[in-house]
């Protein structure tokens, strides 16, 4: 019998080769599956941390916003409150747009029995103060059954008085500061200092008086008189508004319009206020509806950011021009 001739791999070695190949495939498969699982795990954690980040930012923004739900869910009769706090000027919390927005919402709500304008302001822009004054008068005409009371906190000066005199009545504390019915324009003159330093002023204008009130140029008497005329006219507008608003309640005393300030007790004698009391006192004792709901318009954080961004670019340009200040 002839010996079997086998040119291939011995049987035992064949099994070893197949086992090695199977082991390699298994290892590669396990590694691939492990990689896929790790990618899925990393993706899930990535999504989790992104959601966590969005939630954190959302909570931060919500916390920064001035939410005011009291007037949205007011179930019954209440006294509406609008704050006028700080400088009355564009871009400030007490700008005419902000104050008027709050006043309109307060008057338009059928559940508000009366409106309190709580003032704590040293004054500001005559334009904004006049706007608030006129809007109070307009709203009182539209809603004659809904009175508006002004309540003075620490100070109600100049532009604050301009706004307050449109109210039905004004209340203050005995120690409150009330008055400053006047107009001012601040400035400086650097002509002598420039001469001492040997600095030459170079300015070009089109218009004979375009550069008037320039602090680096000598003061011109004609331009000075013109500026005084502007201040006097605005002052007279202020006086007319006070007389129209207060009427016969004003004492016959020219010092009222001199720009001086008075305590709340003195203001009562002069007819600038009608009595003493806080917002809660007025709501409880005068309106007869003790529950107070705040209608003050407040910007959220995004609005404040946008406004500040705009101010950064345009404030230097705006300040270049003349703005009289009622204070």
Q: Is a pLDDT exceeding 70 seen at residue 300?
A: no
Given this model, what pLDDT does residue 56 score?
A: 62
Does residue 156 contact residue 121 with C-beta atoms inside 8 Å?
A: yes
pLDDT 10s digits, 65-104: 544 444 445 458 999 999 999 999 999 999 999 999 999 9
* Spatial contact of 40 and 272, defined as CB atoms under 8 Å apart: no
CATH code for residues 78-184+251-318:
3.90.226.10
pLDDT in tens, 53-73: 666 655 655 554 544 444 445
3-state SS, the chain, equals CCCCCCCCCCHHHHHHHHHHHHHHHHHHHHHHHHHHHHHHHHHHHHHHHHHHHHHHHHHHHHHHCCCCCCCCCCCCCEEEEEEEECCECCCCCCCHHHHHHHHHHHHHCCCEEEEEEEEEECCECHHHHHHHHHHHHHHHHHCCCCCEEEEEEEEEECHHHHHHCCCCEEEECCCCEEECCCCECCCCCCHHHHHHHCCCCCCCCCCCCCCCCCCCCCCCHHHHHHHHHHHHHHHHHHHHHHHHHHHHHCCCCHHHHCCCEEEHHHHHHHCCCCEECCHHHHHHHHHCCCCEEECCCCCCHHHHHHHHHHHHHHHHHHCCCCCCEEC
The pLDDT value given to residue 285? 97
Predicted pLDDT of residue 309: 54
What residues have CB less than 8 Å from 106, skipping those under 6 apart? Answer: 71, 80, 81, 82, 112, 115, 295
Checking if the pLDDT of 5 tops 50, the result is no
Question: What pLDDT does 67 receive?
Answer: 43
Lowest mean pLDDT among 33-37, 103-107, 139-143: 33-37
The answer to whether residue 239 scores a pLDDT higher than 50 is yes
Mean pLDDT over residues 129-137, rounded? Answer: 98
Mean pLDDT of the chain: 82
pLDDT of the residue at 69? 45
Query: What does the pLDDT read at residue 151?
Result: 98
Render pLDDT for 169-222 as a digit per residue (tens, 0 to 9): 999 999 999 999 999 888 878 778 877 888 888 888 888 888 778 888 888 888
pLDDT for position 308: 52
Q: Provide the residue ranges of all domains of the chain, joining segments of one domain with +.
A: 18-64, 78-184+251-318
Would you state the pLDDT for residue 215?
83
pLDDT for res 326: 53
Residue 27 has pLDDT above 50, yes or no: yes
The mean pLDDT value for 17-36 works out to 69
C-alpha distances in Å from residue 111, one per residue of 106, 123, 144, 146, 292: 9, 31, 15, 11, 11
């Amino acid at each position: 019998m002839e010996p079997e001739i086998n040119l291939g791999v011995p049987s035992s070695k064949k099994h070893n080769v197949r086992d090695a190949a199977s082991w390699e495939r298994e290892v590669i498969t396990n590694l691939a599956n492990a990689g896929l699982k790790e990618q899925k795990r990393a993706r899930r954690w990535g999504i989790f941390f992104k959601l966590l980040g969005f939630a954190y930012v959302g909570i931060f923004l919500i916390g920064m916003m001035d939410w005011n739900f009291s007037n949205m869910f007011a179930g019954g009769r209440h006294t509406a409150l609008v704050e006028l706090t700080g400088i009355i000027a564009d871009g400030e919390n007490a700008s005419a747009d902000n104050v008027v927005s709050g006043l309109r919402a307060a008057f338009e709500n059928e559940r508000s029995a009366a409106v309190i304008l709580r003032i704590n302001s040293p004054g500001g822009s005559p334009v904004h103060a006049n706007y608030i004054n006129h809007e109070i008068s307009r709203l009182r005409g539209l809603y004659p059954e809904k009175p508006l009371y002004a309540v003075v906190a620490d100070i109600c000066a100049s532009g604050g008085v301009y706004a307050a005199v449109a109210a039905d009545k004004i209340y203050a504390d005995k120690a409150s500061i009330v008055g400053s019915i006047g107009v001012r324009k601040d400035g400086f003159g650097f002509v002598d200092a420039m001469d001492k330093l040997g600095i030459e002023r170079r300015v070009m204008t089109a218009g004979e008086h375009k550069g008037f009130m320039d602090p680096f140029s000598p003061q011109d008497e004609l331009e000075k008189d013109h500026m005084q005329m502007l201040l006097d006219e605005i002052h007279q507008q202020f006086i007319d508004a006070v007389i129209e608003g207060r009427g016969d309640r004003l004492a016959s005393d020219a010092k009222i319009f001199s720009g001086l300030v008075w305590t709340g007790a003195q203001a009562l004698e002069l007819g600038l206020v009608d009595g003493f009391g806080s917002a809660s006192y007025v709501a409880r004792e005068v309106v007869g509806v003790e529950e107070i709901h705040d209608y003050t318009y407040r910007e959220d954080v995004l609005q404040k950011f946008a406004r500040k961004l705009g101010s950064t670019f345009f404030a230097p340009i705006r300040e270049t021009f003349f703005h009289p200040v009622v204070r």
